[in-house]
Amino acid sequence: MLIAGNWKMFKGPHEARTFATQIRHLPERATGTEIVLCPPYVALQATVQGLGEGSDVRVYAQNVHWELDGAFTGEISAPMLAELGVKGAIVGHSERRQLFGETDETVGRRAEAALEAGIAVIACVGETEGEREAEQTEAVLRRQVEALPRHERLVIAYEPVWAIGTGQTATPDMAQEAHAFIKSLHPTRVLYGGSVKPENARVLLAQPDIDGALVGGASLDAVSFEAICLAGAEPVVG
């Protein structure tokens, strides 16, 4: 199981360091669950430092550029992240695709560069509400997944756009069906994202093809993030 907290544009260095200090020992209780925090760029170093040397919690960035360096104002490269102790990056989040012009091609290039530099990747895919209503879900997922490189350090996050930050979660069956379809195209671990909360985490994570979660809003609070990480570690009874 892999549980990643995507903080989006929340928490500066001070808050990030405090959060990291609070959860640094969580992996010892969440047996079998890998835990990842994705703070904003400016809080990456504070998060790494707050976790300290002995913690198994890993830190990923929320994006990464495809070149090693160059005239790309506002971008950050994979070697720069690695130098800070960052172990991976999210690419292709739907907010990047919808608000910042990210395309399948740029997502693929970002993923390739990160893998090449030796860090891990969480690549996000997912259909909009309109695409689901038009029965385009599989076509959209196919197009997005086929643009991604295959690599042991790449995991996919299925995040239906209509479920992100809306409180509207995909039903476990709906998520399971999409995950199985994604795995038929690209055999890798697939995380679910979109309004994951402590209340719905267990039943989602119990689906056979759901290998973890990418958590936005509910990862901002240490107590609720812990509850989700622990839900992934516990077997569902009954």
**What does the binding site for ligand PGA look like in residue numbers (CB under 6 A)?**
6, 159, 164-165, 193-196, 214-218
Please, what sign has the CA dihedral across residues 198, 191, 36, 144? Answer: negative
Catalytic residue among 102, 112, 131, 159: 159
Query: In angstroms, what is the minimal distance from the CB of 181 to ligand PGA?
Result: 20
Whether 75 is catalytic is no
**Closer residue to ligand PGA, CB minimum distance, 216 or 232:** 216
- Closest contact distance (angstroms) between CB of 197 and ligand PGA is 8
- Return the number of other C-beta atoms located less than 10 Å from residue 150's C-beta: 9
63-69: list long-range contacts, CB under 8 Å, 24+ apart.
63/89, 63/90, 63/91, 63/93, 63/96, 63/110, 64/89, 64/91, 64/110, 64/113, 64/114, 64/119, 65/110, 65/113, 66/106, 66/109, 66/110, 66/112, 66/113, 67/113, 68/113, 68/117
Of 145 and 164, the one with the shorter C-beta distance to ligand PGA is 164
Identify which of residues 70 and 101 has a Cβ nearer to ligand PGA in the complex.
Answer: 101
Burial class (CB in 10 A: 0-12, 13-18, 19+), 161: buried
Q: Check if 25 is active-site.
A: no
CB of 86: closest distance to ligand PGA in angstroms?
Answer: 18
- Please, which residue, 111 or 164, has the CB nearer to ligand PGA? 164
Residue nearest to ligand PGA (CB): 216
Write down the catalytic residue from 65, 93, 179, 186.
Answer: 93
The least CB distance from residue 174 to ligand PGA, in Å, is 15
Which tokens hold the place of 10?
């929340």
**Catalytic residue set:** 93, 159
